[in-house]
Amino acid sequence: MTILLTPGKVDLATLETLWRSGEPVRLHESARPAIEAAAELVRQAAEGETAVYGVNTGFGKLASVKIAARDTATLQRNLILSHCCGVGDALDAATTRLMMALKLLSVGRGASGVVWQTVELIEAMLEKGVLPVIPDQGSVGASGDLAPLAHMAASLLGEGEASYQGRVMPAAEALAAAGLKPIVLGPKEGLALINGTQFSTACALAGLFEAWRNARASVVTCALSTDAIMGSTAPLVDAIHTLRGHAGQIDVARAQRAIMQGSEIRESHREGDTRVQDPYCIRCQPQVAGAAIDLLRFAGRTLETEANAVTDNPLVLVEEGLIVSGGNFHAEPVGFAADQIAIAVSEIGAIAQRRVALMVDPTLSFDLPPFLTPDPGLNSGFMIAEVTTAALMSENKHLANPCTTDSTPTSANQEDHVSMAAHAARRLRRMNRNLNTILGVEALCAAQGIGFRAPLKTSEALQGVVTTLRSQVPGVVEDRFLAHDIAKASAMIADGALIEGLDLPGSK
């Protein structure tokens, strides 16, 4: 099914579907008149005598150099090829597709000056699965994501590399194999394609979508851990959270209360429990995970706006009859959003890791065996699984340091303040993978702990989660090779299998 995009009106849910599904993408036909009107204004400017940045001038520090009309196509081609300076690993296919779709959305607003043929080629490449090979390092997030977007644009010209049917090949061969032809860029088109925030925004959106899965899973793993250590649900009482008023906190407490409803384990120690309060990692989950969810919601609103924005330069203002230089390519909003997502991911992992540590410690776990093994001493159980979570938690804390505060001047000081949004967003993938594992290990430990509480049972909802987990990973009776078990549990967090069907906080 083709996903139809109306520029300026695409929501996060559509973008996530696009990213996860790999479905073909097209702009709504209603975008065409504005695109063509902007292209006509650029054509007129290219044929005129007045210097217009990026249309008949050089770029950046070379903006004062006037380019003859006969050389405008060469100017755009040279721009693309000279800016293909990316290094590092190739961007994954799903995020590459999202980046291309975001570029369609941006030029689709009718303020960039590209011709309709360029839009059609990007759409056709997405439909047929011709994806540019885009190195993921080299952008400082202003003036746009120049290097990665240049690699994308180069593929439209038949330059660089592309993947097609699972094989990387020269872009010209990939286009030909798919029955497509490269284009020749008209005035300003090269600049419109590479001047923008679509690489940073795509990576940040991918990080957001993964972070939401982790945030929602953390509500479930905490509920499991709470029953495993026979923790109290009193801190989940709605009045506590409504008195403070933060939406994320209220939502987390409400969801955790609901999925723990009916737990025999919880009911068994309402009376006569000598403990007064649980440690913060249990008691303060709504406050911590809820604050993280509020951050994700805020970042999501920023990224939804940016996904629908025009972020190249100069902008073609058709109604005013002007082509005007500005600074929409500066990815500061994206960088801030990525930094916020990183903080949220780090903190969700930090509090989850403390719950893992709680469960393996016999002095704190309320009579669970040391390291959750039935025969401690001969067996080490989850001893080193907990250490692994500590390592990943610490790594995420380091990665959560802000990137947007680290500007540096580039391009002969013409571009003297930059956002660093690209690697602010790119690190989120690594951080989310780390958090997948932390939460996966928490689920394994909590399920093991709940097993030790038999014949008492957890709630029906949580028993369903344990059953799903046990379909892939059996309980640990004696020491075995745990790396595969951890990988399976982490995958179930990442793909949402462990929380499917549960009513958990959403992105709105």
How are beta strands 3-5 and 25-27 bridged, if at all?
parallel
Rounded to 5, what percent of the chain is helix, strand, coil? 60, 5, 35
Q: What DSSP letter does each residue of 340-405 carry, written as one string?
A: HHHHHHHHHHHHHHHHHHHHH-TTTTTSPPGGG-SSBTTB-TTHHHHHHHHHHHHHHHHHTS-STT
Q: How far apart are CA 6 and CA 277, in angstroms?
A: 52
Tokens of 83: 């800016």
**Residue 288 corresponds to which tokens in the numbers above?**
């911590």
Interacting residues of 474 by C-beta distance below 8 A, sequence separation 6+: none
- Cα torsion angle, 467, 471, 476, 477, sign: positive
What residues are annotated to the active site? Answer: 53
Strands 135-137 and 131-132: unpaired
Residue 422 near residue 199 (C-beta atoms within 8 A):
yes
- Max Cα-Cα span within the chain: 89
The label of the residue with tokens 């039935």 reads: 374
What phi and psi values does residue 164 have, to the nearest 5 degrees?
-150, 125
Our measurement of the distance from residue 423's CA atom to the centroid of its chain's CA atoms, rounded to an integer in Å, reads: 12
Closest CA to 359 of 484, 224, 259, 468: 224
Q: Residue written as tokens 């290094």?
A: 87
Return the bridge partners of 87, or none: 137
Pairwise CA distance, residues 80 & 63, whole Å: 16
* Helix, strand or coil, per DSSP, at residue 458: coil
Q: Tokens standing for 443? A: 């689920």
Angle between helices 460-470 and 247-260 (to 10 degrees): 80
Cα separation, 141 vs 329, in Å, equals 8
Amino acid, single-letter form, for residue 424? A
Let me know: does 404 contact 383? Beta carbons within 8 Å: no
198 burial (CB, 10 Å; 0-12 / 13-18 / 19+) is buried
Is the CB of residue 417 less than 8 Å from the CB of residue 334?
A: no
| Residue reference for tokens 């009482």 | 237
d(CA 383, CA 449): 14
